[in-house]
Every structure is written in C-alpha cells, then in structure tokens.
Structure 1
Amino acid sequence: MFNPSRDQVRQFFTEAWTKRKAAGVLTPLETMAADLVELHPEYHADLENPDNAQADFPVEQGRANPFLHLSMHLAINEQLSVDQPPGIKAAFQGLLATRGAHDAAHIIMEALGEVIWEAQRLGTPFDSDKYLELIRRHATRN
C-alpha cells in the first residue's frame, strides 16, 4: 500500500501543477491531480509558491488545506473507480441526479471527513455504512 509522507504528497501536487502549466508530460496520476487543481483556482497560488508547500493550514485560520483537499479528491476518485466501499458508485449517481460531479464529490468529501474524524476521536474502525448513509442522505435533499 502506498503511504506517502506529507512532504511527498505536497511535492506530488506542486510538481504535477508545475508540469501542467509548462505543458510537460504527466503520468496518468499527475494528470488526475492537475485536473483537480484546475477545478480549484483558489489553490493555484498555494501550489505555485514553494513556501506554501511547507506551510501549516490550521483550522483556526479558516483556510482549507489545499493538499488535504486535493488528496481527498484523489481518494474519492479511487473509491468511485473500484466501488469501494461497495455502494459508493450508486450513492454518487444519486447525488448526480441533482448536482454536478464536482459538487457531488465535495458532499462525499464532507461525509468522508466526518466519518474519519469520528473514527479517530472514538478510536473505532472506519464505518462504511455510516459513510454511505451520509452520502445517501444528501442525495435525497434538493
């Protein structure tokens, strides 16, 4: 299992974005990463400034951590590609009935963050059923 360090993740995203801007050759994974960065212009300056690759993004500052956000997008893309946990593809399709793919991914990201936070806080395993239920609940809202 691939388990990159914080620095490796940040370097991966900044290098993928640098290559995209320079019209360089990207690997398939770098292409996915650069595509996600393009969807988030609010992060461009962070990925173009080498100092930000080392910055902390405390919640108290009210700024999302661009590297965490983009990493979660990649994780969700992977989950959808292999339907893991089983049922996430169907739940995603339910979201697409009322919103665009990027908004749907952000809803899934919110659910993923909530379930991970709860598991860490309580010292329990990741609850796939709760994760899918949170996503499905949003699919039934307008």
Structure 2
Amino acid sequence: MFNPSREQVRQFFIEAWDKHQSGHLLTALETMAVDLVQQHPEYHEDLRNADAVNQDYAVEQGRSNPFLHLSMHLAINEQLSIDQPPGIKGAYQRLLTTHDPHAAAHTIMEALGEVIWEAQRLGTPLNNERYIELILRHSTRD
C-alpha cells in the first residue's frame, strides 16, 4: 500500500501546482490535485513556497493546514469514486440536493475528521457506519 511521508505529500502538491503554473503536462492525480487547489485560493501562497514542506500549521496559529485539507479532499474523491465505505456515494448525492459539490465535500470532510478523531481517542478502527450517519445527518439539517 502506498504510504507517503508528510514531506512527500506536501512536495506532491507543491510540484503539481508549480507544473500547472508553468504550463507543464500533468498526470491524472496531479490534475485532480490542481483542480482542488484552484478551489482554494487561500492556499496558493503556501504552494508557491518550497519551505512549506517543513512548515508547522498549529491550530493555535489560526490557520488550517493546506496540505491536510487538500489531502482529505483527495481521499474523499477516492472514496466517492469507489463508494467506499459503502453508502458514501449515496450520502454525497443526498448532500448535493442542498449543497454545491465543494460544500458537500467539506461536510463530508467534517464527518471524516470527527470519526478519525474518535478512532484515535478510543484506539479503535474507523467507524464507517458512524461516518455515513454523520454525513446523512448534515443532508437533512442544512
């Protein structure tokens, strides 16, 4: 299984954005990454900064980690493409009745962050049923 380091993930986003800005040909994965970066202009400066590979993005600084955020978007895109965990694609479709695609992805991201935090806190595997439940809860209340 592919398990890149923090630095490798960050370098991937920086290089994909640089290739895009320079007009170079992108791989399919780089194209997906660039599409996400384009939806987040607040991260463009970070992605132009090679030193961002080593930057700390502590919550106390009041900034979100652009690399974590973009990586979560990529993970969610992959989950949706293969409907894994089962039901996520349907939950996403329900969100689309009240959200635009980007806002729907952010709602899923909140649910993913919550179930990851719970799994880490409890020392248990990720609870896929809870994950889908959290997403569906947003589809009925927003």
Whether TM exceeds 0.5 here: the answer is yes
User: TM-score category by the smaller chain?
Assistant: over 0.9
* Distance across 2 between alignment mates of 1:53 and 1:5: 11
Specify the SS of the correspondent of 2:64.
coil
**Number of aligned positions between the proteins:** 142
Q: Which amino acid aligns with 2:61?
A: Q
Instruction: Please state if 1:112 is matched with 2:88.
Output: no
* Distance across 2 between alignment mates of 1:103 and 1:111: 13
1:46-87 Cα shifts (integer Å, max 9, x gaps) = 000112221010011111000000000000000000000000
User: Counterpart of 2:28?
Assistant: 28
User: Counterpart of 1:139?
Assistant: 139
> What is the correspondence of 1:1-142 to structure 2 with a 5 Å cutoff?
1-142=1-142
Return 5+ residue gaps in structure 1 as ranges: none
Structure 1 runs (4+) greater than 3 angstroms displaced: none
> Identity over the aligned pairs, expressed in percent?
70
Name the TM-score, length of structure 1 as normaliser. Answer: 0.98
Q: Considering only aligned residues, what root-mean-square deviation do their CA atoms show, in Å?
A: 0.6
Return 5+ residue gaps in structure 2 as ranges: none
